[in-house]
Amino acid sequence: MATPLTDQEKRKQISIRGIVGVENVAELKKGFNRHLHFTLVKDRNIATPRDYYFALAHTVRDHLVGRWIRTQQFYYEADPKRVYYLSLEFYMGRTLQNTMINLGLQNACDEAIYQLGLDMEDLEEMEEDAGLGNGGLGRLAGTNCLYKGVAPLSCYQYYTVEEADDWLRHGNPWEKARPEYMLPVHFYGRVEETKEGSKWVDTQVVLAMPYDTPIPGYMNNTVNTMRLWSARAPNDFNLRDCKRTSSSPGNILAHIVVPCITFVLFLCNPVLQFFEGKELRLKQEYFVVAATLQDIIRRFKTTKKGTAGRTSFESFPDKVAIQLNDTHPAMAIPELMRIFVDIEKLDWDTAWDLTKRTFAYTNHTVLPEALERWPVELLETLLPRHLQIIYQINQNHLDVIAALFPEDMDKLRRMSLIEEDGCKRVNMAHLCIVGSHAVNGVAEIHSNIIKTDVFRDFSELEPEKFQNKTNGITPRRWLLLCNPGLAELIAEVIGEDYVKELSQLEKLNDFVDDAAFIRDVSKVKQDNKLKFAQFLEKEYKVKINPSSIFDVHVKRIHEYKRQVLNCLHIIAMYNRIKKNPNAPFVPRTMIIGGKAAPGYHMAKMIIKLITSVADVVNNDPVVGDKLKVIFLENYRVSLAEKVIPATDLSEQISTAGTEASGTGNMKFMLNGALTIGTMDGANVEMAEEAGEENLFIFGMRVEDVAAMDKKGYDAMVYYNSIPELKQVMDQIKSGFFSPKNPELFKDLTEMLFKYDRFKVFADFEEYMKAQARVSKLYQNPKEWTKMVIKNIAATGKFSSDRTITEYATEVWGVEPTDLKIPAPNEPREAIEETARALKKM
């Protein structure tokens, strides 16, 4: 059995959270007071907690600026290939603590704030979560952009919520406006054919203002840039230009709300009453890519390879890689073609070759309704030149298909970029595949599905184009930051190198039977549960049993994620307690959280059902503290950082073949939660790494679902043959959980009985059996914790470091570079070089 590190060995290592150091603390205190006085113009007599947060944020940012500038200087001098991760969402969460950890300042900042008589946790809570996304796609991008390259997108002040999330109302200390790089973005207009080629004329112009946020690497002095864009009206805006009919694209409302392009992400319902939601969404998508590509071209032209005139574009794919995060930035493909052909005057074939070698596409869904399709009529109005380019791309593409398969008209229809059935639409996923040199899924099972099913024709045509890149998570945020107790415990027994090489966690297998380590892991979990229970009591006014199983299901609310299945299990447990209150029962605290898209009625009904069940269960004296149901409102990254370390059981129960990957499952696994789940998404690879016996796997596999689809799914068969399921559904239908409105859940029950594509009833019985296994094992704390340790030891594969390295070497064609940038000793040292460096950013 391996032995833990000695105290002497531990002392030789740098603390995970950084060195305290008297000089560091004194410098931080000095910077804090300087910013409080000179940046915020406050003193301790009138300063608020938010002022203290801003003073600390500016102080920490001071330690970033020199590194940030030096990083950009290095990139300019070395002229490496640059990677641009283009996404409509970056779900970053809070920045302060993550930055302190990456810079090795956490301990020194803690001590400085303590000496100033303030509480660090209180200051951290003052920071708003950045409203730059909602859901897994945004969280994945938020993780990836911490490591590589410039990450441009549109700067959304609000995102998809029923209640506005004005996260910028107090300002953002981390961003730097770059008005000198403001760029025009064109909409509407018409196409004029001239001797020189096509010209897009009579357009309406919106200005794109860039905002840069520094993204520090972990303990390496490298600081990359996330560039966000905000919409501005041009200075020559004139209301007289708006004298058109209300149905005209140039009507007065369209002009007045120019900033609305970046004011909301998807749309809040009130906005939909005044503006065409689809048009605004397409404007957002094009706004991002148009500004970004102009910026990329500008930067390319300032490099050593970009100073030789038009012929220099031959090296463009050697210096630029653009990753499309799902189909939302797909308009980048025709936009780059427009720039190359119309502006830079390259011939079509050369431009198309450069474009394909520049772009790569990550697919995030297999659900047909989630694959974007834009009406041709809308594109013709909003982006007429781009529609022409898409038509030409499609024609050339279909010519190739027709030559290879001259008699197969159905294949031509299936592979066309233009869908002709019903409303004529552009299939954006097809555009991404045709216009990219690499296409990847985000888990092995997902990548196989897109190759053999969703995009089968394309995969058969170009099999070498399709790859897998299993998602990953950053252990810096999702262990060091959110679970320092577990991070330090792991470091005590295997050292700290695992923070950069997560695969080293496999060394924990040597401690699976170590009684002291088992006890310590269990204690860390219990401490986290007690802390979260206190949070729930404070924020939700509900007391829970810290010894109960914390059974957690937090993710975007959607039918395929099957929060309904979880809810049916909750009702079944409630019925068992009511039937026999004295029977043995392992206490559970059911915690569910997530957001529903504003226009997604069924998702909202699922939330309503959960909260209605919670009202009944939590107020039934017979149930007591055996069972509690909590719905986490406004679920966000900072809330995830609280609940994940406290979780015992992670719910990953989507219908097999519907979840692309998931990253929440990985975060829970790393933080010592066991998984109950189907063989879907990354669950499959988690089971491979940890052993299927160390997860609570249940339900249909992908092939079972396919067979059932072929045979036909009949919900009534399960309803009539499973008494417990019948009782649960009868209660919901009868209004037991909605006595004031018995018909409240009619749409939901109708869906489950008649239109359930995700086959909730088919997996109900196996799910109940798996939950019984959970309760049985939980009664044996030692064996439970041993399984926890095995799961933590198996998470090495799921590091975003591994994911990014695979993208870098297999998609982008870049090698990891150790910049070895020396950290500046004083902020002044960096200031002296600022002017020259900023021109190169």
Active-site amino acid positions: 364, 555-556, 561, 663, 667
Amino acid at 160: T
End-to-end CA distance of the chain: 52
Task: Name the residue among 574, 649, 654, 577 with its Cα closest to residue 617.
Answer: 574
Q: How many CB atoms lie within 10 A of CB 736?
A: 16
H or E element in which residue 425 lies: strand 425-427
DSSP per position, 636-670 = -HHHHHHHGGG-SEEEE-PPTTT----SHHHHHHH
Q: Which residue has the tokens 């936009």?
A: 335
DSSP per position, 304-343 = GGGSS-GGGGGGHHHHEEEEEESSTTTTHHHHHHHIIIII
Task: Compute CA distances 804 → 356, 376, 435, 811, whole Å.
Answer: 21, 36, 22, 10
Amino acid at 549: I
Per the document, the length of the chain is 841
Q: What is the spatial distance between Cα 119 and Cα 137, in angstroms, rounded to a whole number?
A: 34
Task: Compute CA distances 439 → 209, 443, 765, whole Å.
Answer: 31, 13, 38
H or E element in which residue 185 lies: strand 183-187
Amino acid at 389: I
Amino acid at 404: L
Asked if 725 and 716 touch (Cβ cutoff 8 Å), the reply is no
- 10 Å CB burial of residue 452 (0-12, 13-18, 19+) is exposed
Task: Compute CA distances 615 → 576, 578, 611, 736, whole Å.
Answer: 17, 15, 6, 11
Checking DSSP bridges between strand 223-232 and strand 204-216, what pairing results, if any? antiparallel
Q: Which residue has the tokens 């041709």?
A: 376
**Start-end of H helices in 35-95:** 49-78
The two tokens of residue 451 are: 């190759």
Asked if 291 and 83 touch (Cβ cutoff 8 Å), the reply is no
- 10 Å CB burial of residue 11 (0-12, 13-18, 19+) is exposed
Percentages (nearest 5) of helix, strand, coil residues in the chain: 55, 15, 35
Q: What is the CA radius of gyration of the chain?
A: 28
Q: What is the spatial distance between Cα 316 and Cα 301, in angstroms, rounded to a whole number?
A: 10
Q: What is the spatial distance between Cα 154 and Cα 286, in angstroms, rounded to a whole number?
A: 10
Asked if 782 and 514 touch (Cβ cutoff 8 Å), the reply is no
- Which residues is 426 bridged to in the sheet? 374, 418
Which pairs with CB-CB distance under 8 Å and at least 24 residues apart come from 194-200? 196/345, 197/341, 197/342, 197/345, 198/341, 198/342, 198/385, 198/388, 199/342, 200/338, 200/342, 200/384, 200/385
**Start-end of H helices in 464-540:** 475, 484-494, 515-540
**Start-end of H helices in 219-267:** 252-256
Question: Cα–Cα–Cα angle for 205, 207, 212, nearest 5°?
Answer: 160
Task: Name the residue among 333, 378, 390, 334 with its Cα closest to residue 358.
Answer: 333
Q: E-assigned strands of 64-150?
A: 82-86
Task: Name the residue among 310, 312, 320 with its Cα closest to residue 341.
Answer: 310
